Structure 1
Amino acid sequence: MANWFVNEGLSIFVILVWLGINAFLFEHFYIVYLDKKFYYTRELTGDALSWARASAACLNFNCLLILLPVCRNLLSFLRGSCQCFSRNVTRQLDRNLTFHKLVAYMIALHTAIHTIAHLFNLERFMDGQLDNHDTIQYTLSQIGNIEGQAYLNPIRSNDTNPTVIAFTTIAGLTGVVITLALILIITSSMEVIRRSYFEVFWYIHHLFVIFFIGLVFHGAGRIVRGQTNLNASDPDLCAKNFKTWGQNTSCPVPEFAGNPPMTWKWVVGPMFLYVCERLVRFWRSMQKVVITKVVTHPSKTIELQMKKKGWKMEVGQYVFLQCPSISQFEWHPFTLTSAPEEDYFSVHIRIVGDWTQKLFTAYGGDKTDFQEAWKMPKMAVDGPFGTASEDVFRYDAVMLVGAGIGVTPFASILKSVWYRYSNNVTEPKLKRIYFYWVCRETNAFEWFADLLRSLEAQMAEKGNADFLSYNIYLTKWDDNEAAHFALTHDEKKDPITGLEKKTLYGRPNWENEFKTIGSNHTNTKVGVFLCGPEALAKTLSKQCNSSSDANPLGVQFIFNKENF
């Protein structure tokens, strides 16, 4: 339990607080609409009124939160400001997209409750107009027919239906629009669509602008109404005498007024922050970017080296790239593979989709002749933004685990380590790096092997060969490759990477790896950093929990995952 709490305790606490606030708001506003002020409204709608308003309160709260996790500049600023706090506080910022999704699911849940409750309300409002003349529902529905008298029932005629009301009132029309927008946003965010049709996800996700505009105006019609003359016409005394309302001074006709719209008060702050976020990102994206070098690597990978005035970065950060000649609107995230010490910044992009294929062609990746830099298409860069990898140098020892192209953030880290050792700039905190790279194809190793060879030689020259321990795993090979590996197994250097340490075949035995590292670093917090698939993340997360010492002063494995 203690081991699990180290990695997940604060995150679970945050989620419980969030759920608790949702539960409190729902219960509080459910009870508020059981108040005497809404006695006559409930006579028309029943308990559906409380359900609709309680869910609306939760919607307001979650719509306040939904934009904050995607304000990337704000998160980067907070990450930089939180260095004086514990690593656990900073790590919560790395789970911004997970929290964003949870809030979206909560919005979907309360939207469903709110919509269903109001459908019942519309039906009952309609029934009130069509009811027998001797019922209180019919009597309440006729209030407002006299000039200057405020209505209670928003359906003012029996010659209509709920569908017409839904599309001819502010509340109904905006409700339909924001519900449809929400359905499209959530369905297009499914993993299969996001990975296979990223452009569809990207464009549809921007319907959130329509969603928030509709949300702000949704309550402007003031359909939910409460009684304003409770002192003059007490429902407890006058409800049973509804037939004689206005005929004596003790029970005058009830007067009603609509509740003022409240949603804008909840969302105006986050909307302002998000607009500022977009303005900052727009300003940065308009700054000139110079492509200094394009390198085509094996395994369908292209490297872009760029320069930008005033550029500053930290290890492991990422940027968004836009190529206007390919698309004026699409921005795609890529991890920086350069180090802060270099006078340029770079990204390695694997060609796996339509946009990356067009980028590959646009920058001459399919050509063998020299390309003039000034002839290349313009590139817009937004960032850099902070990630979990920034915390690498805050640990005494770290495990870096990359899968395939997921090795890119660690290229930045290892390059930075190389430069620090080259310039005799030692890192007082970090004493040991354990690097694991799991890949399916041999070609994928080639572009990264040069860096590892340089770092390996540098550490040996400095007499600190134990500083970096790396293990490269190949998970897929054919018969010809297997025969070649067998023949060259006894050679001094690995036949695939050219490194002193040989490539391993298969997958790592994580239990053994964690045991070995734990025995080497007793009484130490070991940072575990992953850039890879969710299945591997679950495996490493569980292993961190099970391998950490029950004694808080013993070895503790702290799990961190890249998310963008």
Structure 2
Amino acid sequence: MRQAYRQLAGDDELIDFKDWKAALSVNSDFLARRLFELADTDRSGYIDRSEFSAFLSQLAPERSTQRLNFLFQCLDVEGDGRLSQQELRSLLQTSLTEQKLTLTDTMLSALTDSLFHASGARRQSLDLEAFERLISTEPGVERQLDRFYAHLLNRRQRRLQRHKNRAPWRLRLKAQLLQGFASRLWWFLYLFGNVALFINAQQQYADAGASFAIQIARGAGACLNLNAALILLPVCRSLLSGVRHTFIARLLPLDHHTDIHRHLGFALIFFTAIHAIAHGINYWQTDTSIQTLMTSLAGATGVGLTLILLFMAYAASKRQKKHERFVLSHLLYAPFFVALLYHGPDTWLWLAPSLSLFTLDAIFRTFRRYRSVDITALEPLSDNVTEVRFKRGRWFPFNPGDYIKVRIPVLSRWQWHPFTLSAAPETDRFSIHVRTAGNWTTALHNLSRKPRPKRQKWTAYIDGPYAAPTSSLYKSSVAVMIAGGIGVTPFASVIHSLTKTEKSNPETLYFHWLNRSQASYDWFLSMLSQAESRLGQDRLQVTNHLTSLALNLSNVLLQIAFSAYRQQHGQDPITGLRATTEAGRPDWARIFSELRLKHPDTTIHVYFCGPKGLGKSIRQHAKLQGLCFHEETFD
């Protein structure tokens, strides 16, 4: 407590209103001033050490009665020992403003009425006894007060230790074998193959009497042949999509094909560096001139291959800022492989199988998956999201969760961007939802806001559809879908499809949707409402998480009002759904632990689409609970 006070008070050892408001992390002067008045008991305009200590003692977790009295005093602005209807309405409006929420006057009145209904008060005001009954209906209040207390003490709340809240090792092992066995097996075979090839090539040239530099160069060259042959396979999208829904999918790490392609690219750069440095040392030792190097076929193609590889790697590192340069640089794969075939006499033996598969895949994509379509609607949505609807032809089958690559010439002649299909395959259209995050998406959103002449047609080129991890969701009897913001699109397609089919799997489906903005839920509210009615809560359980809602003292009354309204009306006051909108970030340890206990004999699969940082956290918690984790990672 002393350390927390020193940090707040500073050198003068007194806390003024400015310091106090900053410590509370609230924007509202009213809320900050109200708490300051309760702490500044001598009305000096400053909070000294004894006043700070007395203020915190009222919030201590072990003093529930003092906590209740303190909270009531905070809300009782008039100080008459009662909370009138107008007083509560004003406090709710202040809290809504603080939390950047927008509700109608009718809803605000309904929230106020729900508070009185939950408390059982007969009069038009709440006394301390009625307020206590109201608090008893909302167990989350204690948690919010705990957070506020810890925040003032500048202390992180202690979470349950991981080793006490993890699944038994048998369940965790089973999940790892089901999910990671194929990846680990192939990585082992890949590493073993590289080591074996390197040692074999080095030994052959050592037996032939070559210098050590040549031995190293040839060993790295053998590894280059292997990696150059493998790097084409993860980009054979049609082939991978075709095998995803077969038994072969269990033997291949299909969920990680993009990462595999990236790692193989790093391996090419690594072995190229060793190969080039070793040859450079050999040329230096044998006094070979640069002219001799550049006039030989092996030397000239080697320099060209190195330059192409370095340029492609540089363009990839700047992909987010210079996407078009990244796309154009990867078109150099054609001269790269041509030069590679001329560079080594036996390289064609390695490249022939993978080049054949890649060529067949490209031909199939050109004639079966690559097509031009008309854009039937371009609609700007809330939070800088654009919905693009396309005219669907007869030959465009896809599964929920599939994605396409889109090129719109009016925006860019060269850029292709991947997006998940957000409509159900049972409908007569297909669509995507695009969030503004760069030059191309900004141009798309601006285009959607411009008036469109009646006869003007916008054409898009589609490459796909291609299967993604979510398209395998129907193999799970219990599945958890977690979406971060616009990552909701594959799950919107899944839920929409379930409302239009009689599929039995998944038997139980949990859906968690995280958003920073209240307006983001508008994208799919009507679809979720329809799904709640048709699928029922026994099969589909939706939970929305509004992460911008702070779980602190500024919105305690608001959270109580939300809970009271849901109990009275059976729907959420923010979205209008039966699903609850929870404040703050989810406690994944608690959520996954409860799921594991609820379905002890069932393998639970978690599907995630959203920011990578969030995905990393969810992956760790899922692993601790023995759940199988799948993440959308196409790019």
Q: For residues 410 and 286 of structure 2, what CA distance do their matches in structure 1 show?
A: 55
Deviates more, 1:112-121 or 1:482-491: 482-491
Which deviations, in whole Å up to 9, do the C-alpha atoms of 1:130-183 show, x marking residues without a partner? xxxxxxxxxxxxxxxxxxxxxxxxx5xxxxx2x223322221221111111111
Q: Which residue of 2 aligns with 1:528?
A: 606
Partner amino acid, structure 1, of 2:467: G
Residue 377 of structure 2 corresponds to residue 293 of structure 1: yes
Deviation at 1:541, TM superposition (A): 2.1
Q: 1:271 to 1:485 in 2, by over 3 A?
A: farther
> Under a length normalisation based on structure 1, what TM-score does the superposition of the two structures give?
0.76
Q: How does 1:401-412 map to 2 (within 5 A)?
A: 401-412=482-493
Q: For residues 483 and 326 of structure 1, what CA distance do their matches in structure 2 show?
A: 47
Which deviations, in whole Å up to 9, do the C-alpha atoms of 1:413-448 show, x marking residues without a partner? 00011112xxxx2x2332100101111122211112
Partner amino acid, structure 2, of 1:544: A
Q: Which residue of 1 aligns with 2:118?
A: none
Q: Which residue of 2 aligns with 1:457?
A: 533
Partner amino acid, structure 2, of 1:65: L
Partner amino acid, structure 2, of 1:329: W
Q: Which residue of 1 aligns with 2:433?
A: 348
Deviates more, 1:103-112 or 1:64-73: 103-112
| Mapped contact 1:290–1:308 kept (Cα < 8 A) | no
Deviates more, 1:4-13 or 1:26-35: 4-13
Q: For residues 540 and 402 of structure 1, what CA distance do their matches in structure 2 show?
A: 11
Q: For residues 484 and 355 of structure 1, what CA distance do their matches in structure 2 show?
A: 43
| Mapped contact 2:235–2:261 kept (Cα < 8 A) | yes
| Mapped contact 1:288–1:308 kept (Cα < 8 A) | no
Q: For residues 377 and 308 of structure 1, what CA distance do their matches in structure 2 show?
A: 16
Partner amino acid, structure 2, of 1:290: D
Q: Which residue of 2 aligns with 1:331?
A: 416
Q: For residues 558 and 337 of structure 2, what CA distance do their matches in structure 1 show?
A: 59
| Mapped contact 2:480–2:606 kept (Cα < 8 A) | yes
| Mapped contact 2:379–2:449 kept (Cα < 8 A) | no
Q: Which residue of 1 aligns with 2:545?
A: 473
Cα RMSD of the aligned pairs, angstroms, is 2.3
Q: Which residue of 2 aligns with 1:264?
A: 348
Task: Identify which of 462, 465, 478 aligns with 1:397.
Answer: 478
Deviation at 1:558, TM superposition (A): 1.3
Helix, strand or coil for the counterpart of 2:434? strand
Deviation at 1:328, TM superposition (A): 2.2
Residue 286 of structure 2 corresponds to residue 125 of structure 1: yes
Partner amino acid, structure 2, of 1:96: H
Partner amino acid, structure 1, of 2:319: R
Partner amino acid, structure 2, of 1:526: I
Task: Identify which of 582, 594, 598 aligns with 1:504.
Answer: 582
Q: How does 1:177-196 map to 2 (within 5 A)?
A: 177-190=304-317, 193-196=318-321
Task: Identify which of 407, 429, 434 aligns with 2:505.
Answer: 429
Deviation at 1:543, TM superposition (A): 2.0
Q: Which residue of 2 aligns with 1:313?
A: 398
Task: Kindly indicate which of the two structures has a greater share of residues assigned to helix.
Answer: 2
| Mapped contact 2:213–2:281 kept (Cα < 8 A) | yes
Helix, strand or coil for the counterpart of 2:272? helix
Q: For residues 266 and 371 of structure 2, what CA distance do their matches in structure 1 show?
A: 37
Task: Identify which of 379, 383, 389 aligns with 2:464.
Answer: 383
Partner amino acid, structure 1, of 2:520: A
Deviates more, 1:288-297 or 1:71-80: 288-297
Q: For residues 100 and 520 of structure 1, what CA distance do their matches in structure 2 show?
A: 38
Task: Identify which of 175, 179, 193 aligns with 1:21.
Answer: 193
Task: Identify which of 80, 89, 103 aligns with 2:251.
Answer: 89
Residue 357 of structure 2 corresponds to residue 278 of structure 1: no
Q: Which residue of 2 aligns with 1:11?
A: 183
| Mapped contact 2:406–2:463 kept (Cα < 8 A) | yes
> Under a length normalisation based on structure 2, what TM-score does the superposition of the two structures give?
0.68
| Mapped contact 2:422–2:490 kept (Cα < 8 A) | yes
Q: Which runs of 5+ in 2 are unaligned?
A: 1-168
Residue 294 of structure 2 corresponds to residue 167 of structure 1: yes
Residue 137 of structure 2 corresponds to residue 54 of structure 1: no
| Mapped contact 2:324–2:414 kept (Cα < 8 A) | no
Q: For residues 208 and 526 of structure 1, what CA distance do their matches in structure 2 show?
A: 41
Q: For residues 372 and 278 of structure 2, what CA distance do their matches in structure 1 show?
A: 53
Residue 242 of structure 2 corresponds to residue 77 of structure 1: yes
Deviation at 1:505, TM superposition (A): 1.2
Q: 1:455 to 1:391 in 2, by over 3 A?
A: same
Residue 610 of structure 2 corresponds to residue 519 of structure 1: no
Q: 1:539 to 1:88 in 2, by over 3 A?
A: farther
Q: For residues 278 and 57 of structure 1, what CA distance do their matches in structure 2 show?
A: 27
Deviation at 1:325, TM superposition (A): 2.2
Q: 1:401 to 1:361 in 2, by over 3 A?
A: same
Q: For residues 520 and 578 of structure 2, what CA distance do their matches in structure 1 show?
A: 18
Which deviations, in whole Å up to 9, do the C-alpha atoms of 1:377-405 show, x marking residues without a partner? 21111110001111111111100011011
Q: How does 1:406-421 map to 2 (within 5 A)?
A: 406-420=487-501
| Mapped contact 2:384–2:445 kept (Cα < 8 A) | no
Helix, strand or coil for the counterpart of 1:379? strand
| Mapped contact 2:603–2:628 kept (Cα < 8 A) | yes
| Mapped contact 1:319–1:336 kept (Cα < 8 A) | yes
Which deviations, in whole Å up to 9, do the C-alpha atoms of 1:180-221 show, x marking residues without a partner? 11112223223xx222332222222222223212211113xx
Which deviations, in whole Å up to 9, do the C-alpha atoms of 1:229-266 show, x marking residues without a partner? xxxxxxxxxxxxxxxxxxxxxxxxxxxxxxxx011221
Q: For residues 286 and 89 of structure 1, what CA distance do their matches in structure 2 show?
A: 28
Q: 1:357 to 1:262 in 2, by over 3 A?
A: same
Partner amino acid, structure 2, of 1:465: Q
Q: Which residue of 2 aligns with 1:560?
A: 630
| Mapped contact 2:480–2:607 kept (Cα < 8 A) | yes
Q: For residues 355 and 524 of structure 2, what CA distance do their matches in structure 1 show?
A: 42
Q: How does 1:225-240 map to 2 (within 5 A)?
A: none
Which deviations, in whole Å up to 9, do the C-alpha atoms of 1:468-524 show, x marking residues without a partner? 111111112599x96995696243443432212331111111111111111111211
Q: For residues 484 and 168 of structure 1, what CA distance do their matches in structure 2 show?
A: 81
Partner amino acid, structure 2, of 1:388: P
Partner amino acid, structure 2, of 1:218: H
Partner amino acid, structure 1, of 2:539: F
Q: 1:357 to 1:376 in 2, by over 3 A?
A: farther
| Mapped contact 1:287–1:308 kept (Cα < 8 A) | no
Task: Identify which of 539, 545, 551 aligns with 2:623.
Answer: 545
Which deviations, in whole Å up to 9, do the C-alpha atoms of 1:105-148 show, x marking residues without a partner? 2211111110011001111222xxxxxxxxxxxxxxxxxxxxxx
Q: For residues 455 and 179 of structure 1, what CA distance do their matches in structure 2 show?
A: 54
Tell me which stretches of 4 or more aligned residues in structure 1 moved more than 4 Å: 481-488
* Number of corresponding residues: 454
| Mapped contact 2:384–2:436 kept (Cα < 8 A) | yes
Q: For residues 445 and 356 of structure 2, what CA distance do their matches in structure 1 show?
A: 37
Task: Identify which of 308, 321, 328 aligns with 1:203.
Answer: 328
Q: How does 1:211-222 map to 2 (within 5 A)?
A: 211-219=336-344
| Mapped contact 1:285–1:380 kept (Cα < 8 A) | no
Q: Which residue of 2 aligns with 1:237?
A: none
Task: Identify which of 220, 228, 231 aligns with 1:66.
Answer: 231
Deviation at 1:326, TM superposition (A): 2.2
| Mapped contact 1:181–1:211 kept (Cα < 8 A) | yes
Q: Which residue of 1 aligns with 2:154?
A: none
More RCO (CA 8 Å, sep 6+): 2
- The alignment-based identity, stated in percent, is 31
